[in-house]
A and B are shown apart, each in its own frame.
Chain A
Amino acid sequence: MTDSEEEIWDEPASLLDPKPILGVSTEPSPAPEPATPVEGPEIPEGPPMVEYLSVNLTYPNGQQALKDVNLVVKKGEFVFLVGSTGSGKSSLLKMIHCELEPTTGAVYVDRQDLSELKKHQIPYLRRKLGVIFQDFRVLPHKTAYENVSFALEVTGVAHRFIRPRVRRALEMVNLSEKSHRLPGEMSGGEQQRVAIARALVNEPVLLIGDEPTGNLDPDTSWDIMQTLSQINASGTTVIVATHNSQIVDVMRKRVLVMHRGTILRDEERGMYAAQSEAKS
């Protein structure tokens, strides 16, 4: 292994043992309610929403980001993707919206082989997906309403459909009252909810979150996860990469642990750290 590979493969300390990693504390956050683990809904037995078949990803500089990943996420599932920085979580998610292509192997989204998609078809796939990020990515000069309607305008949705759909999306994230505020006049949590509303407004079949609570305090993080959970309850598949161990442990959804580009652990109603390790 080269030095640069060593840099990518940081030891996922808290996943293998429950010590803090990368400044993310495994100590319980003060606020989240309920504080005790809750039983999640039954894992749906639906058709696959996302499939990774023997996926490998090697970057042009030779660093291997993903190694022989095989994974199926079913329709309606809520999946946490955990692992240290550089473990391959973001790379795995980026493949879903075609920001990255596997070097070998295949990725299917909603039964569509992404390698067969032509360049001009990629936007149409993305309209079926909602993506949220740690840094919100809202436009500072547009109001909450405009940020959400922007997603419809630029995908050519007829003007008469835009207003009701934007209102509904803002209602879902409890931002109806603040729809005319600019991001600068909103808290981080509210800005992330704007981003969620924007991701939802196209009524996606799959919502992807790449560390959506990474910049938020524990209370707000919990709110955001509750919102995502509600969205999942309405039938949308949700995949969230996160470092927030407490939320993962409380919500008890399916947990995929990534380590050095492979899936180290895959547990239904799992926890952030391996249960045997957590007990020890």
Chain B
Amino acid sequence: MGSVVYFLREVLINLRRSPLMTLSAITTVMILQLILGSFALLWLNLDNWTQAFTQQVQVVAFLDEDLSPEALEKLQKKIQTIGHVTQVRFVDRDEAFAQLQKEMKGKISLSDVGENPLPDRYDVRVDEARFLAPVADKIFKLKGVYKVKYGGDIAKRLINLSSTVSWVGGAISCMLVLATVTVVGNTIRLTVFARRREIEIMQMVGAARWFIQVPFVLEGVVQSLAGSALAIIVLSPGYESLAEWMSDTLPFLPSLPGEQLGEWLYPLLLILGCLVGALGSLLSVNRYLRI
């Protein structure tokens, strides 16, 4: 208990002794965590879009008007016999319009467009995205189909983009983590340097190595934690606003809800901040501990 009180007292004394240094470390960690968090959010959303899109990729076969129920049934059977087709679903024009309204969050109504411009269609799922094109070709040749659409190409591009963002984001994240370790480490190194005589005496009187390290490590953790918390305070409402704007402007690109991210991304940033702060401090203090 005495040690805990000693550690906390030392941390408070050190933070108070060099407020400008502490402030600069906190600000730098905040900026680094903001960049790191932004990258994480961008990558998570891109991944989300990619996943959503690849799950939804399908061949949409738009049908001629006024096909009889028998013709429709015959057409469906023909489509079902095509290789790699896993599901065929008929969507009549009213349902299609209702879907569109839902996607547009009610911003479109029948009165705006006069009459429903959408045709009846079949949504056709295939087992793998690479078979979209050949299946679409075969469906297009069937009687009663006037147009086919499939998002294979877009899906491929999204996957590529997501993968690129993962790599670039991963590399930048590593650099940011290194930068944070260095920034916190350097700040603590200045504190350690200012207290080298004290450390020397601690070693001389027989203080255990960990006992000397702990206050400095805690100091680094406090600084990183404060910087990370400030970053989250900025990042969280910033993301919420951006997500809202995205859903208004680009409703077909659904953003991940902020509350869902808050459950794990922000705690993860805090934990990462703690670890990085502790590591930076430990590396710095160890340089001054000869034995």
Give the B-binding residues of A (Cβ under 8 A): 97-99, 119-120, 122-129, 131, 137, 139, 150-151, 153-159, 198, 202
Beta-carbon contacts of B194-215 to A below 8 Å, as 1s and 0s? Answer: 0001101111111111011000
Instruction: Assess whether B201 is in contact with A150, with CB atoms less than 8 Å apart.
Output: yes
Q: How far is the CA of A127 from the CA of B202 in the complex (A)?
A: 11
Interchain CA distance A97-B290 in the complex, whole Å: 13
* Measured CA separation A128–B205 after assembly (Å): 9
Interface residue tally for chain B (C-beta within 8 Å): 20
Q: Which of B166-204 contact A (CB under 8 A)?
A: 197-198, 200-204
Most chain A CB atoms below 10 A, which of B3, B5, B198, B208: B208
Residues on B with beta carbons closer than 8 Å to the beta carbon of A123: 203, 206-209
B146 part of interface (Cβ distance < 8 Å): no
Minimum CB–CB distance for A64 against chain B, Å: 22
| Secondary structure call for the B interface | helix
Measured CB to CB, the closest approach of chain B to A139, in angstroms, equals 6
> How far does the alpha carbon of A99 sit from the alpha carbon of B203 in the complex, in Å?
10
Q: A98-B291, A137-B197, A139-B197 are in contact. Are A155 and B2 (CB under 8 A)?
A: no
Q: Pick from A99, A120, A158, A198: contact of B205, CB below 8 A.
A: A198
Whole-angstrom CA separation of A155 from B203 in the bound complex = 10
Return chain A residues, CB-CB under 8 Å to B211: 154-156
Report whether A125 and B2 are in contact in the complex, using a CB–CB cutoff of 8 Å: no
**Nearest-CB distance from B64 to chain A (Å)?**
84
Chain B residues contacting A202 (CB-CB under 8 Å) are 205-206
Q: In the bound complex, what is the Cα–Cα distance between A202 and B201 (angstroms)?
A: 14
Taking a contact as CB atoms closer than 8 A, the residue among A98, A119, A120, A139 that contacts B201 in the complex is A139
Verify A158–B2 contact, CB threshold 8 A: yes
Residue of B nearest to A122 (CB): B291
Residues of A within 8 A of B201 (CB): 137, 139, 150-151
B204 engages A159 (CB within 8 Å): no
Q: CB within 8 A of A120: which of B197, B200, B209?
A: B209
Considering residues B209, B212, B291, which has the most beta carbons from chain A within 10 angstroms of its beta carbon? B291
B291 near A99 with CB under 8 A, answer: yes
- Contacts A126-B204, A156-B2, A159-B2 aside, 17 further interface pairs with beta carbons under 8 A come to A97-B204, A99-B290, A120-B208, A122-B291, A123-B206, A123-B207, A126-B205, A128-B206, A129-B206, A131-B204, A137-B197, A150-B202, A154-B6, A154-B205, A154-B207, A155-B206, A202-B205
Contact B2 A154 (CB under 8 A): no
Does the CB pair B200–A137 fall under 8 Å? yes
Q: Are B206 and A153 in contact (CB under 8 A)?
A: no
Q: How far is the CA of A119 from the CA of B210 in the complex (A)?
A: 12
How many angstroms from the CA of A153 to the CA of B202 in the assembled complex?
A: 10
Contacts of B205 in A (CB 8 A): 126-127, 150-151, 154-155, 198, 202
Show 19 A/B contacts (Cβ-Cβ < 8 Å), sorted by A.
Answer: A99-B291, A119-B209, A120-B208, A120-B209, A123-B203, A123-B208, A124-B206, A125-B206, A126-B204, A126-B205, A127-B206, A137-B200, A150-B201, A150-B205, A154-B202, A154-B205, A154-B207, A156-B208, A159-B2
> In the complex the two chains form, what is the Cα distance from A129 to B2 in whole Å?
23
CA distance A124 to B207 in the complex (A): 8
Q: Once bound together, how far apart are the Cα atoms of A139 and B197, in whole Å?
A: 8
Nearest-neighbour CB distance to chain A for B266, whole angstroms, equals 36
Give the CA-CA distance A237 to B12 in the complex, in Å: 40
B139-169 CB contacts (< 8 Å) to partner A: none
